[in-house]
A and B are shown apart, each in its own frame.
Chain A
Amino acid sequence: MTNTLAIKTILGAPFWKFLLLFAALLFSYSSPAFAESPPPDAPASEPSAPAETYGSFKESEGYATFATDNLWILLAAFLVFIMHLGFATLESGLCQKKNTVNILFKNCFIISMGVISYYAIGFNTHYPGDDFNGFFKLGGPLTDAFTDKDSFANLTSEYADYTYWSDFLFQAMFAATAATIVSGAVAERVKLSAFLVHATVLVAIGYTVAGSWHWGGGFLTQLGDALDADGNVIAAAALEAGAEADSYSNAFYDFAGSTVVHAFGGFAALAFVMVLGPRKGKYTESGIKPIVGHSMPLAAIGVFLLFLGWFGFNGGSVLSADSELISRVCVTTALAACAGALASMLVSTFVIKKPDLSMALNGFLAGLVGITAGADAISPAMSIVTGAIAGAIVVFSIIAFDKAKIDDPVGAISVHGICGIWGTLAVAFFGGASLTGQIIGIVCVSLFAFVFSYALALILKSTIGVRVSEEEEERGLDISEHGQEAYSS
């Protein structure tokens, strides 16, 4: 009986519209290199074949360090992958039993779509390379980097302290986390097809374009006056004569992505939630009726997995295995997380009169998001302060959004959006970044994320619809959208 219902839903008209839209997005660029890139050790037309030169790189002096750095980046990528497991369990735990399959399915889609789209266009849009106007350049697929015979350089320290492949994998894991932030906020009432399209476009284009403004070498890295290596302002005449800036006075600083990952995701989530509306029955005339999560153990497991993964998220963002840097960054990360949890526990006990587990869990995350922008620039002592303030902010933010009737089942908007902003500002207060630069970066990325997501959600609302029907919501998305139960006894 339920299978028939599911099949009818899947074969219903909206699904085909979604499939067409999805296919159109995936194939909307034409890049001939898609099927033609030669492997790096293909025989070249000249005597010094790439394989030989790479072999000699492996015998060179710096190789041991390179291998260590590269290995760390790969391990960090695996740790960030664990964050997807964390998100899946956290979101399931904080939502109702009847929507568990739906949440897990969305999480499966996010990582699979995230990595593939990052391969297809994401990586090269995020990191456009030299020929970049600072704002937007749509990239081609990954293997574009190997179209020239000298491309073995991408596997050596000529590229970075790690290979091109490690760079891709590490960053690909980050990309999908932007969509997963949204999935928690829109859970329990979003239409699956609408979410899949929104997540794909958001990750493939929105996240990568916003990220390119900072990590891709875009305009946010060039705010303020050009400075030379000693920190002196370079005169305009010298710039015109071709002098290169070493840094900029108001450059935006976001070490591991408090803004370009977390605030981006948080504000994209806010926009989608505003278009979507709250869950049925949450906000009534007689006040807020909480819709309780079905598994606190799953939620707690999720948060601890996220904490573990964050060692890779921040530790890997050092982009080398430099002992001082990665150890210090892991310390600031851990201190901020723990301070965040303590602060949330304390604040929630005072404000709510009872120690709330879900607030304590969000406190860890708030602290982690808060330190992400400045894990390398903020001292361990001040990272405790940064994390604690984030932990306090998140409690008030969650309650405030509920009062404003913005329904966020997992607190994603507060943890990632609001604490992401705080974390970025903290680098100006405690880490020496320019306050002007930080504010400009926060505003540009958050506003872009919000507008991009809002427009996307509106388009989806007027085409395939963004919300399930009231009956589907009451029955549970597991039965309505998937024809399956998470816990069939």
Chain B
Amino acid sequence: MKISIERRPQDSNLMKYLSPLLAVLLTLMAGGVIFTLQGQDPWTGLYTFFILPISDSYGLSELGVKAAPILLCAMGLAVCFRANIWNIGAEGQLLMGALMGSWAALSWMDLEGIWVLPAVLMSGAVAGLLWALIPALLRNHFNTNEILTTIMLNYIALNLLLYAVHGPLKDPHGFNFPESALFTEAVTLPLLLEGTRLHIGLAFGLFAGVCIWVLMTKTFLGFQLKVIGLDVSAGHFAGFRERRLVYFSLLLCGALAGLAGISEVSGPIGQLVPSVSPGYGYAAIIVAFLGRLHPIGILLASLLMALVYMGGEMGQIDLGLPLAMGSLFQGMLLFFLLACDFLISYRFRIRTMSNQPPAHGRNAGVNC
């Protein structure tokens, strides 16, 4: 018997959507194996990880809380990735949004007025946008690879955040903890559901999803982004302005990530802390791919990713598993997805020797 790989005559549309499901399934199976290796019952492990966290309404609302920032970042990333712009910097853009938004919030939080909260949110979004402007500028005018610049800017943003909470934005009455003062009501996001932590940030994410769906499927701008992403020379040939498109997608993503950042600090956290983001910006990369860069896929994938975060915490509390289990699941998910994507363009064919016509037998040397 021989297994051979062959290219499909046409990419399989079915596999395009099946592949993420397959990847999730494989991740769950690998997770089961890891639980077993840890000396846990795999079913208990998977249950604790993926069912228990959302088995009550509070858990479900927490899922929305965790999903909100991922959703916002992933929506922006989807636009960048469609345009073949490898923005790895959502994390940094989110952190800058949180940092500058917090600064605005701390400055204005004792003021009265309906404009305060929108202004704070706007500051966060603008900060993210400006942070994304750096790689956009460098790529457009200095031909600098955006992967490396956005990564570097993530580390710089993290260090700036640490500097701020240890220095200028530290709560003067906070017993020297590296945290800002608690935000007042005026700069806190309204809740979607009383009694939960579910805030309006999730609505921002959903709204962004609708807008991006319209952008990518209904507008000429979205079409141009797709062309540039698929085939940059065709875009040049047609006269699309690549630089403008790079600015547009990076700045859009930066603004959304910045909004995610400020929504986190002015929503569930309520103050600026060093650990604003447990890697939401990186998780959003996985989510964007897992969701096939499509808003609905991204929504589902961000819920799954939020669940992985919650499962990691639940596993630590209930089963004493390392918290890093969650990040391990994230890594595996992306890996399995990339592997399964192979099946979109290729298929395995299993041939048994007996299937070959006997006439070919004598050509064994030639036949391959």
Asked if A pairs with B, the answer is no
Q: Show the binding face of A for B, using Cβ within 8 Å.
A: none
